[in-house]
């Protein structure tokens, strides 16, 4: 009992409150840390505004964590600061997908192949600013595509199922048709 009487309860309460504040601040800082994001990794390793087909996913040599080893991938980090991006992808069968993601991982666009028919994706990514595109050639070209989204930067992922050696050449040729390029006016 004498031990409890010697404790300065105000000091203990202050210590607990400071510890809680430090914990909350550290949690918010950790969540907002963008240094190790998928976008940062891709932006540092791959050329911007160009679709790059990466090799098969192998243990300890994967470009990003949690990539499926039973799939092949093509990535395109993009930046629309001064231009519009044009994305084209062919999704021939089930398991094929294309996604556009913001640097923080937010999904901006996603499409999956249908089992009944081949799906062609034609997408324009325009700058996400207050630029008026109503009278320009850039606006007309963006209107000519199937879909348009606004994003300042991010990355595009085309995923193809790896169905084994007999189909690898076919999968590779379809992945090679996927493109993301700066739209020329």
Instruction: Using pLDDT thresholds of 50, 70 and 90, give the confidence band for residue 34.
Output: low
pLDDT over 90 (residue 184): no
In angstroms, the CA 56 to CA 71 distance is: 8
In angstroms, the CA 34 to CA 103 distance is: 8
In angstroms, the CA 2 to CA 146 distance is: 78
State the pLDDT at residue 158. 96
In angstroms, the CA 56 to CA 77 distance is: 19
State the pLDDT at residue 170. 93
State the pLDDT at residue 33. 67
State the pLDDT at residue 111. 94
pLDDT over 80 (residue 40): yes
- Over residues 18-31, the pLDDT tens digits come to 999 999 999 888 77
Of the two residues 129 and 171, the one the predictor is more confident about is: 171
In angstroms, the CA 154 to CA 180 distance is: 12
Q: What is the mean pLDDT of the chain?
A: 85
- Over residues 116-169, the pLDDT tens digits come to 888 999 999 998 766 555 545 554 444 444 789 999 999 999 999 998 889 999
pTM of the entire predicted model: 0.74
Alpha helices in the chain (DSSP H): 2-6, 9-31, 38-45, 137-143, 168-177
State the pLDDT at residue 24. 94
In angstroms, the CA 34 to CA 104 distance is: 7
| Contact (Cβ atoms closer than 8 angstroms) between residue 39 and residue 171 | no
State the pLDDT at residue 135. 47
Q: How far is CA 53 from CA 143, 158, 165, in A?
A: 28, 9, 17
Q: How far is CA 13 from CA 7, 22, 159, in A?
A: 11, 14, 53
How many C-beta atoms lie closer than 10 Å to residue 80's C-beta? 21
Sign of CA dihedral 29, 32, 37, 41: negative
């Amino acid at each position: 009992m004498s031990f409890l009487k010697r404790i300065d309860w105000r000091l203990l309460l202050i210590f607990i409150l400071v510890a809680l504040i430090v914990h909350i601040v550290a949690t918010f800082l950790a969540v907002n840390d963008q240094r190790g994001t998928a976008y940062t990794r891709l932006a540092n390793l791959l050329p911007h505004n160009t679709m790059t087909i990466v090799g098969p996913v192998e243990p300890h040599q994967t470009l990003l964590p949690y990539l499926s080893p039973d799939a092949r991938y093509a990535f395109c980090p993009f930046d629309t600061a001064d231009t519009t991006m044009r994305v084209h992808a062919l999704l021939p069968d089930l398991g094929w997908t294309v996604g556009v993601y913001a640097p923080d991982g937010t999904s901006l666009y996603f499409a999956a192949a249908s089992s009944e028919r081949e799906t062609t994706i034609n997408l324009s990514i325009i700058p996400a600013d207050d630029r008026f595109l109503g009278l320009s050639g850039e606006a007309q070209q963006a209107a000519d595509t199937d879909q348009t989204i606004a994003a300042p930067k991010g990355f595009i992922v085309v995923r193809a199922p790896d169905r084994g050696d007999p189909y690898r050449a076919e999968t590779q040729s379809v992945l090679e048709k996927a493109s993301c390029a700066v739209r020329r006016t």
